[in-house]
Structure 1
Amino acid sequence: MTSTPPFGRALCAMITPFTGDGARLDLDAAAALAVRLVSGGCDGLVLNGTTGESPTTSDAEKTTLVRAVREAVGDGVPLIAGVGTADTRHTVELARAAEGAGADGLLVVTPYYSRPPQAAVAAHFRRVADAVGVPVMLYDIPGRTGTRIERETMLGLADHPGIVAVKDCTGDLLTAAEVIAGTSLAYYSGNEELNLPLYAVGGTGYVSTVANVAPAPLRAVLDAFDRGDTAGAARLNARLMPLARALMAAGLPGTVTVKALLDAGPVREPLLPAGRETADGLREALAALDATG
């Protein structure tokens, strides 16, 4: 594990609450959720990421959300703002706005759709990191972007002083372990089923969608591992897997399933809300976890 995690170990990819018609941010609900997550065991919060519905929030809404959550949780809680777009210039604009709004770090996804070659991917990340004074977390999620940050590219980016962390959603534990061993990058799992395995090979922690509804049980896995209780960590991790499967492997985005549990307002189109049967199943999975806790 990285000796000094740049943003803590247990991070939540926080949803973005909207008002009943979905037209506006529900800032009171966002503030209340942020406070609950921190008190429940989250070291930091990732705002305006995929789970935060960044594709359908405006630039102004993104900045407003960062400011509101910063005011709610105070200065001691790391806030990482998602600023990734398919346009380098736009990403730089969002990065500077997030820094000005109080973000402690930036989550920058690989440019999507245009499928840039690796040299362009590296140049994009360096351009963003050069433009701000807060550290950058690379977001490697090729299943959504169509482009992976290849191993050699990652190793090269590790020499940039402003690039300090990775949110890894590749599912490739081998490459992650190699980069962890060869760099000082802090690796955060973006797949709940790999939180513990990645941590065991030197990862820093996780950026979790499931943490929106189960922050304490997720953190307990890392705490047990840090105490040297690897068997206990495995047991706690196993208890979480049914909920993780229900939330993340139900054929719906995590944003949809989490909002179905939290009653945090609608999702924005093109997403659609979860159906009643799905919502009932999610509540059963959460209740089962609570019963074993």
Structure 2
Amino acid sequence: MTDLLFGTNLVAMVTPMEPDGSVSRPGLDGLVDHLLATGCDGIVVGGTTGESPTLTDTESADLVRTVSRLVGGRAKVIAGVGTNNTATSIERAREASSAGADALLLVCPYYSRPTQAGVIAHCTAVADATELPVMLYDVPARAGIAMEPSTLLELACHPRIRAVKDAKGDLFEAMSVMARSPLAYYCGIDELNLPYLACGAAGLVSVVGNVAADRNAALIQAVRDGDLKSAQVIQSELIPLTERIMRTSQGAIMAKAVLAERGIIPHASVRLPLLEAAFA
């Protein structure tokens, strides 16, 4: 089952940092404890919200190793390994596997704007590099291109490509691909968590979950129980927090601001080109 590979209530974890820009070990300790205590069963390490473009290869592997040790098998650790360089992505995948990751998150190659055949070749090469299950990340707003349905259907034939984090927002397309393939869908847009779950998504990969994984867990359970009314209430209650984190500035910036405000991480520091929130 996909639940056993990735979990259902996943959090796109921020990377806690000290004011000098170094990775904060006290911040990691506190944040991982918080995520586990609030019902997160999958932690995405070194994804977009983890400021992956600013992490070195060594930092990325160390983060996976540290978080895997802190989690101790209580949740899945999914390592973000995608870049726009296939060779680099393969190396990061192998390093993540050696560091203890349970699965990989592979973003559609950004900036280079390859053809769909190039996307397929890239994803296949990375999936072939380890024995870990792979979750594709379809995020055209960041990548500059989308994974077309035919591309997703072809990649679904790979034995290790098992899921999609969908930040495209096309619900009909998502339902169509789910109906025609074994790919499990995970909502990657916090504003649309309930619609995706109602349409058959297996779970969430949430930025807001850094702060409110317990509410996301309740939302997932309400949908699974067929209790749409309760799910609507939970989603409505989450709107102010979702708006603050996802619509006020940028997700990683604001998630860190709220976490620091609540004392879960010691600092709201980010790395350039991001700037720390000037307001809470």
2:6 alignment partner in structure 1: 7
Cα gap change, 1:106 to 1:217, in 2 (>3 Å): same
Q: Is the 8 A contact 2:40 2:75 kept in 1?
A: no
User: Alignment partner of 1:107: what SS?
Assistant: strand
1:256-271 equivalences in 2 (<5 Å): 256-263=253-260, 264=265, 265=267, 266-271=269-274
2:119 alignment partner in structure 1: 121
1:96 alignment partner in structure 2: 94
Residue 85 of structure 1 pairs with residue 83 of structure 2:
yes
Moved over 3 A (4+): 2-5
Q: Is the 8 A contact 2:7 2:75 kept in 1?
A: no
* Structure 1 runs not aligned, ≥5 long: 280-293
Q: 1:34-54: CA deviations, max 9, x gaps? A: 121011010110000000000
Offset, 1:3: 6.9
Q: Is the 8 A contact 1:81 1:98 kept in 2?
A: yes
Separation of aligned partners in 1, 2:4 and 2:65: 23
User: Alignment partner of 1:133: what SS?
Assistant: coil
Q: 1:229-282: CA deviations, max 9, x gaps? A: 1111111111111211111012x2211001111124310011101112xx1xxx
1:284 alignment partner in structure 2: none
1:8-157 equivalences in 2 (<5 Å): 8-22=7-21, 24-157=22-155
TM-score norm. by structure 2 comes to: 0.95
Offset, 1:76: 3.7
One-letter amino acid of the counterpart of residue 18, structure 2: T
Separation of aligned partners in 2, 1:234 and 1:83: 34
User: Alignment partner of 1:188: what SS?
Assistant: strand
Comparing 238-247 with 81-90, greater Cα deviation is found at 238-247
Separation of aligned partners in 1, 2:2 and 2:209: 23
Identical counterparts, % of pairs = 48
Comparing 195-204 with 82-91, greater Cα deviation is found at 195-204
Offset, 1:116: 0.2
Offset, 1:133: 0.7
User: Alignment partner of 1:41: what SS?
Assistant: coil
Separation of aligned partners in 1, 2:29 and 2:59: 14
Separation of aligned partners in 1, 2:26 and 2:178: 39
1:272 alignment partner in structure 2: 275
Cα gap change, 1:155 to 1:196, in 2 (>3 Å): same
Offset, 1:200: 1.3
Number of equivalenced pairs: 274
* Structure 2 runs not aligned, ≥5 long: none
Offset, 1:75: 2.2
Q: Is the 8 A contact 1:140 1:167 kept in 2?
A: yes
User: Alignment partner of 1:68: what SS?
Assistant: helix
